[in-house]
């Protein structure tokens, strides 16, 4: 290595500087020789050999004339003397001879061995000139010349010319290239300094050709820096989308600096490479000397690490979701009886202990019923275990049907069940148990169960037995059950140690059932006492009555289906709701949208009825309906054919909401969140404030065909699952994936609260470019939220969450405050004329405090109104145009600019546009995108610009992404443009650096 270093330094010092001139000089020499050969091929070059042959012929002919004259005199000595003198005087003549036609040599001189008498014609070295005596051949003169120049000598001559030309060209070009090659004009130490940059650095000329590149840039292109010269950076294999324009092209044409634009370099068989590209304008465009400085920062490794991290986060989230799903399944398995679906023994006792503690603390009643199916072993023995399972399930359904909201039903073990009844004492619980006893007997009727008869025994206890916890209360009920079985089964016994022993009838109308004291228990059973084991006639009659009641309920249900509107609330009932669902599903299939159904019920409605009475509870229902109809936007929800109401009443305590034209499930989650918020506020019942709970079930249709009844059933089942949850206001989605998404949405809502508290919401800015001044004159403030795990959350998503949860006002104030603070910063840096626009939502425009809060914020920040602009959409003014006009006029009087955003996509009439106090019209990007290819779009945009100018309004074109769009908008008279061509939205620090760079660039151009 030590020996190689001097040789390398010698090469760099003495050889390397001439490498490129030598290559170019060789090319020029080859070009010159090619021209000479071409001229020779076309016959344009004079043949020197032919000239020499002609001159030799003339000399020999002159000799022949002289010799023929001497021969006619017969003077042979003069002939010999003439021949010898001829040879001696001409150095390129080797020999000469005069030969008779008979072959006799009359005279010769020189190297006669070269004379070839056999040749009858002239050759390149020997010329023959005949001598005639009148018409007869007398003899001939033969002359041997030295050979003429051959091809080898010509090649040597050409080689000499080429070598001399090469030396001359190399010497000339070594100096000329200093002027032609900017890289040579840069001192070596500067070139070395550029090579210190790890990023690729490239300089482009006015035609976007590479004129200089450092070693990093050459490494990116897999070639040397000198090989890059003259090539186009556009020819590199960049990943291009439709309408893609290179950032250096944008910088060259607009003069704007571009920072950190991401570009991918894709090469076949190699890894994709990601670069952060920055471009700056160099030179002075006025005299044509301009170019672009491009830097390429390789972000491939960082991007790979980010992808790996993101993949890990996704896997972790999936694992967490899977764990959560498994936990839910395990919770159901751990808390639910697998055969009946009701609470298992452990869950039952936990819930009972909680209700016991509450009842003891509040001093309210609490009772417990324990029941056991009579002779259940015989059922299994006679009919099989499958029938036994059917009996257990049917009994559980009967008991579940008798339970109120808030009651607890659980399978205690085997054929034993326990019912916990908050708010009821033992006597009231005994009435429930008696109805359950009759209902169990009725189960044997009909074809549902394969048993001839069926009965159950019941034990009842309440807090009067002295129970201190759930176990002791169940033990007391179990003692009552034990007495019922001892007394002959199929009866109800109250365990009441303090009973006086008096006999109390259960119902005077029954005439058969009585409550009789038996020791420490009260027995509810049928007369006569001697036949308690068998169901009495009264039992059968009551069971028959129960069956008839079921038929009546079925008939009532059929009548309710026929009925359309609820008498109390005026809302549509089930039939019309399902019809509307079918209509919306047909439309959704046509429009490729979704339909959603929300089913909800009020919690503890029976308790409220028992506490406040039916009249007040009916008023409560009306208040609930009114609040929901006013709180839920009618554009979200539809269920009534001829009115704006959005609710349907399905049963006495089940309501439904139909969500139509959903593009995705997020809209449904927003409505659910808003629904829960409306329920969380108190209701006034009489003179008291009451907080009510709700069970909410949600089902979303798939994009395939699904019947309305099936979709509604899914929502109802989800509502029932929600009732099991402990939350006062709980919701469940019918789909597990949607439920996970719903939980994710709720987490997003919670995270948004935290982000607002922790100042994690950022305000970014996007420049507006004045087409006349060719510089940035304004900004638009845009909100951004970078979540710790989600990355950047779409503003459309979290703004919708903010609107649904009452956070939009707080969010907007944060943006306004940050914008005004940034205006103050820019003003201190000399950017005095920037006008910054902020977006306001329709909800803010409706707020009466918008004007006062905006003006107060301007005063507190010390910012003039002329530097602030309010952007609103067309549709935001349609609800109350007069209120909007008044509010906007007050802001305009204070100097605040008013802008209509996304013009052309809404429904604003021209008269309304003329009446509103506006300053700016922003043309939507949909129209801008088409101006390059559509003459009609250009005409339309031009008409909008002319109309706006006629109304003294400035025009801003949104979404300008190509130079062609920029130039077209300029030709059409647009005042300002905004879009990725100028700059993407960036943080305040980056946009400030952008402004500084533009100012430096403008100053350099004017200098």
SS (H, E, C) 145-162: ECCCCCHHHHHHHHHHHH
Report all structural domains of the chain as residue ranges with CATH numbers, in order of start: 18-181 (3.30.450), 186-305 (3.30.450.20), 340-494 (3.30.70.270), 571-750 (3.30.70.270), 759-996 (3.20.20.450)
Q: Mean of the pLDDT values across residues 711-715?
A: 89
Say if CB 383 and CB 335 are below 8 A apart.
no
Q: Which residues, at least 6 apart from 113, have a Cβ–Cβ distance to it below 8 Å?
A: 95
Under the banding of pLDDT at 50, 70 and 90, the label for residue 637 is very low
Q: What is the pLDDT of residues 469-507, one digit of tens each?
A: 999 999 999 999 999 988 888 899 998 664 433 323 333
How many whole angstroms separate alpha carbon 513 and alpha carbon 526?
A: 5
Pairing mode of beta strands 868-873, 513-518? unpaired
User: Is the model more confident about 283 or about 689?
Assistant: 689
Cβ atoms < 10 Å from Cβ of 833: 13
**Three-state SS at 874:** coil
How many whole angstroms separate alpha carbon 376 and alpha carbon 398?
A: 17
User: Is the model more confident about 789 or about 704?
Assistant: 789
How many whole angstroms separate alpha carbon 342 and alpha carbon 322?
A: 25
Under the banding of pLDDT at 50, 70 and 90, the label for residue 957 is very high
Picking from 838, 872, 842, the residue whose alpha carbon sits closest to that of residue 766 is 838
How many whole angstroms separate alpha carbon 408 and alpha carbon 351?
A: 8
Q: Which residues, at least 6 apart from 145, have a Cβ–Cβ distance to it below 8 Å?
A: 56, 92, 93, 94, 125, 126, 127
Under the banding of pLDDT at 50, 70 and 90, the label for residue 181 is low
pLDDT of residue 411: 93
**415 counts as catalytic:** yes
Query: Would you call the peptide bond into 528 cis, given omega within 30 degrees of 0 as the criterion?
Result: yes
Under the banding of pLDDT at 50, 70 and 90, the label for residue 687 is confident
- CA 467, 471, 477, 478 dihedral sign is negative
Q: Is the pLDDT of residue 529 over 80?
A: no
How many whole angstroms separate alpha carbon 441 and alpha carbon 546?
A: 10
Q: Is the pLDDT of residue 276 over 80?
A: yes
pLDDT of residue 249: 85
- Give φ, ψ of 601 to 5 degrees: -140, 150
Helices (H), 443-531: 470-486
Of 140, 415, 434, 874, which is the active-site residue?
415
Cβ atoms < 10 Å from Cβ of 908: 19
- CA 827, 980, 958, 875 dihedral sign is negative
Say if CB 787 and CB 822 are below 8 A apart.
no
State the pTM of this model: 0.44
Q: What is the mean pLDDT of the chain?
A: 80
Q: Is the pLDDT of residue 523 over 60?
A: no
In which residue are the tokens 């490239």 written? 202
How many whole angstroms separate alpha carbon 221 and alpha carbon 211?
A: 15
Q: Which residues, at least 6 apart from 404, have a Cβ–Cβ distance to it below 8 Å?
A: 421, 606, 607
Instruction: Give kind and range of the element (H or E) at residue 992.
Output: helix 988-1006
Q: Give 876's Cβ-side CA count (13 Å radius).
A: 23
Q: What is the pLDDT of residues 761-819, one digit of tens each?
A: 899 999 999 988 888 999 999 999 988 888 888 888 788 778 766 788 888 889 999 99
Q: What is the pLDDT of residues 121-166, one digit of tens each?
A: 777 778 888 888 777 888 888 888 887 655 666 677 677 777 777 6
């Amino acid at each position: 290595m030590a020996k190689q270093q001097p040789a390398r330094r010698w090469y760099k010092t003495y050889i390397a500087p001439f490498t490129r001139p030598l290559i170019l000089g060789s090319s020029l020499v080859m070009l010159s020789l090619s021209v000479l050969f071409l001229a020779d091929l076309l016959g344009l070059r004079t043949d020197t050999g032919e000239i020499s042959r002609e001159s030799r012929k003339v000399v020999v002919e002159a000799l022949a004339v002289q010799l023929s004259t001497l021969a006619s005199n017969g003077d042979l000595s003069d002939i010999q003397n003439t021949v010898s003198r001829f040879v001696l005087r001409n150095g390129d003549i080797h020999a000469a001879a005069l030969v008779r036609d008979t072959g006799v040599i009359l005279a010769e001189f020189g190297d006669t061995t070269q004379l070839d008498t056999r040749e009858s014609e002239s050759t390149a070295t020997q010329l023959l000139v005949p001598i005639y005596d009148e018409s007869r051949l007398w003899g001939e003169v033969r002359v041997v010349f030295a050979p003429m120049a051959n091809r080898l000598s010509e090649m040597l001559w050409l080689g000499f010319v080429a070598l001399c030309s090469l030396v001359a060209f190399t010497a000339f070009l070594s100096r000329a290239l200093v002027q032609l090659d900017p890289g040579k004009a840069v001192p070596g130490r500067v070139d070395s300094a550029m090579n210190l940059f790890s990023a690729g650095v490239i300089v482009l000329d006015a035609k976007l050709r590479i004129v200089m590149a450092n070693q990093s840039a050459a490494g990116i292109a897999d070639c040397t820096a000198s090989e890059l010269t003259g090539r186009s950076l556009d020819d590199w294999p960049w990943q291009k989308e439709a309408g893609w324009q290179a950032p250096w092209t944008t910088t060259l044409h607009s003069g704007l600096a571009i920072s950190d634009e991401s570009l991918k370099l894709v090469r076949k068989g190699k890894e994709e490479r990601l670069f952060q590209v920055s471009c700056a304008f160099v030179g002075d465009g006025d005299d044509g000397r301009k170019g672009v400085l491009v830097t390429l920062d390789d972000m491939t490794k960082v991007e790979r690490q980010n992808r790996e991290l993101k993949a890990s986060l996704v896997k972790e989230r999936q694992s967490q979701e899977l764990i959560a799903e498994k936990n839910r399944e395990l919770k159901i398995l751990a808390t639910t009886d697998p055969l009946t679906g009701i609470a298992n023994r452990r869950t039952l006792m936990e819930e009972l202990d909680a209700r016991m503690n509450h009842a003891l603390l509040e001093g309210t009643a609490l009772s417990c019923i324990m029941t056991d199916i009579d002779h259940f072993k015989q059922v299994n023995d006679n009919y099989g275990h499958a029938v036994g399972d059917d009996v257990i399930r049917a009994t559980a359904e009967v008991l579940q049907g008798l339970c109120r909201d808030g009651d607890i039903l659980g399978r205690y073990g085997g054929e034993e069940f326990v019912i916990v009844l908050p708010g009821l004492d033992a006597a009231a619980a005994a009435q429930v148990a008696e109805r359950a006893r009759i209902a169990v007997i009725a189960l044997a009727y009909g074809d549902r169960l394969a048993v001839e008869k069926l009965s159950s025994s019941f034990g009842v206890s309440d807090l009067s037995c002295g129970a201190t916890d759930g176990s002791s209360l169940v033990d007391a009920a179990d003692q009552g059950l034990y007495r019922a079985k001892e007394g002959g089964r199929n009866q109800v016994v109250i365990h009441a140690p303090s009973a006086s022993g008096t006999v109390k009838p259960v119902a005077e109308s029954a005439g058969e059932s009585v409550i009789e004291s038996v020791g420490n228990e009260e027995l509810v059973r049928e007369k006569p006492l001697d036949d308690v084991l068998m169901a009495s006639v009264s039992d059968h009659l009551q069971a028959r009555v129960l069956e008839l009641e079921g038929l009546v309920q079925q008939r009532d249900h059929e009548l309710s289906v026929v009925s359309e509107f609820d008498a109390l609330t005026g809302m549509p009932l089930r039939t019309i709701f399902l019809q509307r669902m079918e209509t919306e599903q047909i439309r959704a299939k046509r429009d490729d949208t979704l339909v959603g159904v929300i089913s909800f019920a009020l919690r503890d409605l029976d308790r409220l009825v028992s506490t406040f009475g039916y009249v007040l509870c009916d008023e409560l229902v009306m208040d609930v309906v009114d609040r929901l109809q006013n709180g839920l936007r009618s554009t979200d929800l539809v269920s009534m054919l001829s009115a704006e109401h959005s609710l349907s009443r399905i049963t006495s305590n089940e309501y439904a909401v139909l969500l139509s034209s959903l593009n995705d499930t997020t809209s449904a989650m927003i409505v659910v969140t808003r629904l829960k918020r409306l329920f969380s506020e108190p209701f006034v019942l009489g003179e008291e404030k009451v907080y009510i709970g709700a069970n909410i079930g949600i089902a979303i249709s798939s994009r395939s065909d699904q019947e309305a009844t099936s979709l509604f059933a899914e929502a109802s089942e989800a509502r029932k699952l929600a009732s099991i949850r402990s939350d006062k206001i709980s919701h469940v989605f019918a789909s597990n994936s949607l439920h996970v998404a719903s939980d994710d949405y709720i987490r997003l809502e919670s995270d948004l609260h935290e982000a607002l508290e922790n100042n994690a919401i950022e305000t970014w800015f996007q420049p507006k470019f004045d087409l006349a001044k060719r510089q940035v004159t304004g900004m638009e403030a845009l909100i951004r939220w970078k979540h710790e795990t989600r990355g950047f959350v779409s503003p459309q998503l979290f703004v919708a969450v903010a609107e649904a949860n009452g956070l939009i006002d707080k969010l907007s104030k944060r943006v306004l405050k940050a914008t005004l603070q940034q205006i103050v910063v820019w003003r201190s840096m000399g950017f005095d004329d920037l006008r910054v626009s902020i977006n306001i939502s329709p909800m803010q425009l409706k707020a009466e405090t918008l004007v006062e809060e905006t003006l107060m914020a301007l005063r507190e920040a010390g910012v003039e109104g002329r530097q602030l602009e309010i952007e609103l959409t067309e549709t935001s003014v349609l609800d109350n145009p007069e209120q909007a006009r008044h509010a906007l006029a007050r802001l305009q009087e204070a100097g605040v600019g008013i802008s209509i955003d996304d013009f052309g996509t809404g429904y604003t009439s021209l008269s309304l546009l003329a009446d509103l106090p506006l300053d700016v019209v922003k043309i939507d990007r949909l129209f801008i995108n088409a101006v390059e290819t559509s003459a009609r779009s250009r005409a339309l945009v031009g008409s909008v610009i002319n109309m706006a100018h006629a109304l003294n309004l400035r025009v801003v074109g949104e979404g300008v992404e190509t130079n062609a769009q920029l130039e077209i908008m300029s030709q059409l008279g647009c005042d300002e443009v905004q879009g990725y061509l100028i700059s993407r939205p960036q943080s305040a620090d980056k946009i400030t650096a952008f402004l500084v760079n533009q100012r430096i660039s403008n100053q350099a151009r004017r200098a």
